[in-house]
Structure 1
Amino acid sequence: MNASVRPPANLAKLTKLTPPGPLDPAVLREAARWLVRLHSGEAGPGDHAACARWREADAAHEQAWQRAQRLSQKFGAVPPAVGMPVLARQGRANRRAVLRTLALFAAAVPAGYLGWRHMPWQAWSSDERTATGERRELQLADGSRVLLDTASAVDIRFDERQRTVRLRAGAIAVVTAPDPLGSSRARPFVVETAQGRLRALGTRFTVRQEGEAQDRGAVRVAVTEGAVEVTLRNATAPALVLPAGQQTVLGDAGAAPPEPVSTQSQAWTRGVLYADNMRLADFCAELARYRPGIVHCASEVGGLRISGAFQLRDTDYVLSMLATSLPVQVVTRTRYWVSVVPG
């Protein structure tokens, strides 16, 4: 099915009422979500009608839609009539090519829209998500709290049997609350990940998805209070119970041996990037998760080591500090293209 939608009947009238100008990033994100939905391969007549109503509701909506359509056609980011089920069958290499194209797509739009460059496009339709550099706490219906890290996405499903949070991208910190239904009807609190199922046992813990969930990247779990029961993907019984003060990595080969929770793995929950003799290349890659655009580290300086605690709310300042503490210089081509090179 072709995902194009006829322009609303009163588009000309709406456009005259609102002259072209900068668009709200939230409206741009909404247009992107409509674009993804209509090209998902699963959109029906109701989805197309709903999109038409959204476009018709405000001239800014239509402007954002047209911009998204033009960019997708220019860069081939979302080919008409090609849904994600088809793309998924083409293999990992082609999916990566599509994501590279989407990066170009993001680079062509305003700064606010660049905040979504780290988000896998399947996660755009998640229940809750954050942009690059954003952290946000959710209060769930049962009183539990979930803190979303930069470029993170989750789905939330509560029913009569289970309280479930599915991590689609990024990282979360979870503080569980007792089930308000009472002890006799208490539902388990579960975090579903690409590598398995995490059942909270009165718990504070963090979960980070490495890479993309659909490619089953590694999942890092760290427990600071209580315990977490880990059941690996496709397993019928729990693999281990991870107690407070321990962390592990879940991968295709199973769960790594538990080890003490590191300060570095928990620092993001306080808005800090903590480095303890970290390679500069790894530091730049981690900093880039919190900054729209690209942070490139030249191979000549990638092996330099850095230590310290850096506030993530001001990544410009963090970059400026590199040149004062290491033999490097920071070259800024634009706000969204920064290179760390030999000094």
Structure 2
Amino acid sequence: MAKRMTGRTSSPETPSFERAIARQAAQWLVKLHDTPVSAADLDACARWRAAHPEHERAWQRAEQVSSKLGGLPGGIALQSLNRGSRVERRAVLKTLLLLMSAPVGYATYRTLPWEQWSADLRTGAGERRTVALADGSELILNTATAVDVRFDAQQRLLVLHAGEIMIRTARDPATAQGSSRPFVVRTAQGNIRALGTRFIVSAADTHPTMAPATRVTVLEHAVEIRPAIDAGRTRVVEAGQQVSFNGSEIGAPQPADRYAAAWVDGKLIVNAMRLDDFVAQLGRYRRGLLRCDPQTADLRISGAFQLDNIDGILNALPDTLPVAVLYRSRYWVTVIPSPTAS
């Protein structure tokens, strides 16, 4: 069970603390593009990134910023990294920090982790948790999930900040004096209202090249989706369907993945899944950085895998695919082409 951690959410000191993390991320980025870089440096950076979600998000932001400057070390603004000039290095750090602190992007990115860390219910990497709610409903949290529970006289509300949940709703016990309170799951993209049902909600994908979207898979009965921006646009999704939606649009219903709920039993079941997607799924259940080399991304994999043994899955990959698993450290792993593949 993960230990509960509390972040500062409204203190005037929060911006300076978050800027300190941004500075640490920029310093690590500069350090790892110096030459030579030791295995100890790589391991220390990976441990820093894995120590807190805010660290990893700051690192990702720093990498995005550096790529916009032309990449490391190729961009004009970053060519000074290997010259050894302390003044030039300070200039690079200042540039990274200024861009990371821009109102669009970083201002949004820096607030979400504190909501996650201060959430009523949380799970760590590789952890799952089942919770009986006050109304008798059952809530199951998948790996790296954060949820606030806000039940009052008007509604039964779950706020999903990150991760994935499955809900089995119960009849509202507070119905003696009137109609039952609606059961609603809220994400950044909108509301999902249960219509007496069992369903899965996966929070927004935060990949920098993808628009954020919430995915809903209905296992029993139905739900009603209402986007946050265009609240007048609603859609009822029936059992056996899944839908992705953002703040203003709802995608067309698709047949539900028959194995969408396998994670509840600690399994990942895939059929001809791209290897990069498969590795991304495994990465949700493991601390540290887990990547797939682009040269192996198009390979396909099928099977049923136990989520409580991610390293065992990785170690077995070379037995079935022309790949190797490169451990730069315990926290930095990459699936690469097999050196012996023809």
Name the TM-score, length of structure 1 as normaliser.
0.68
CA separation of 1:115/1:263 partners in 2, compared to 1, >3 Å: closer, same or farther? farther
Structure 2 CA distance, aligned partners of 1:204 and 1:157?
19
Q: Distance in 2 between matches of 1:118 and 1:222?
A: 28
Name the SS for the 1:313 alignment partner: coil
* Superimposed CA distance per residue, residues 120-174 of structure 1 (whole angstroms, 9 cap, x where no aligned partner): 5131121111111111111111111111111111111011110000111111100
Cα shift at 1:251:
2.1
Equivalent positions of 1:101-250 (< 5 A) are: 107-108=47-48, 113=51, 120-122=112-114, 123-182=116-175, 184-212=178-206, 217-237=212-232, 239-250=234-245
Residue 185 of structure 1 aligns to a residue whose secondary structure is coil
- Counterpart residue identity of residue 245, structure 2: L
Cα deviation, 1:217-250, whole Å, max 9, x if unaligned, reads 1000011111101112133445111111111110
Aligned residues of 2:268 and 2:307 also touching (Cα < 8 A): yes
CA distance in 2, matches of 1:138, 1:25: 15
Counterpart code for 2:189: Q
Question: Is the 1:192–1:198 Cα contact (8 Å) retained in structure 2?
Answer: yes
Change (3 A) 1:34 1:230: closer
Structure 1 residues without counterparts, runs of 5 or longer: 1-23, 43-68, 79-103
Preserved CA contact (<8 Å) 2:230 2:248 = no
Counting aligned pairs with the same residue, the percent is 41
Cα 1:118–1:314 change in 2 (3 A) is farther
TM-score relative to the length of structure 2: 0.68
Question: Does the residue aligned with 1:338 lie in a helix, a strand or coil?
Answer: strand
Count of residue pairs the alignment pairs up: 263
Superposed counterparts of 1:315-334, under 5 Å: 315-334=310-329
Q: 2:290·2:332 contact (CA, 8 Å) conserved in 1?
A: yes
Q: Please give the alpha-carbon distance, in whole angstroms, between the structure 1 residues aligned to 2:13 and 2:124.
A: 22
Instruction: Provide the rounded CA distance (Å) in 2 between the counterparts of 1:116 and 1:261.
Output: 33
Q: Structure 1: which amino acid aligns with 2:131?
A: L
What is aligned with 1:60? none
AA partner of residue 215 (structure 2)? R
- State the secondary structure of the residue aligned to 2:278: helix
CA distance in 2, matches of 1:105, 1:340: 19
Classify 1:41/1:315 alpha carbon distance in 2 versus 1 (closer, same or farther; 3 Å). closer
Correspondences of 1:246-285 after superposition (within 5 Å): 246-252=241-247, 254-285=249-280
Residue 25 (structure 1) shift: 7.2
Which has the higher relative contact order, 1 or 2, with Cα contacts under 8 A spaced 6 or more apart?
A: 2
Residue from 293, 297, 302 that aligns with 1:298: 293
Give unpaired runs (5+ residues) of structure 2.
26-43, 58-111
RMSD (Å), alpha carbons: 3.2
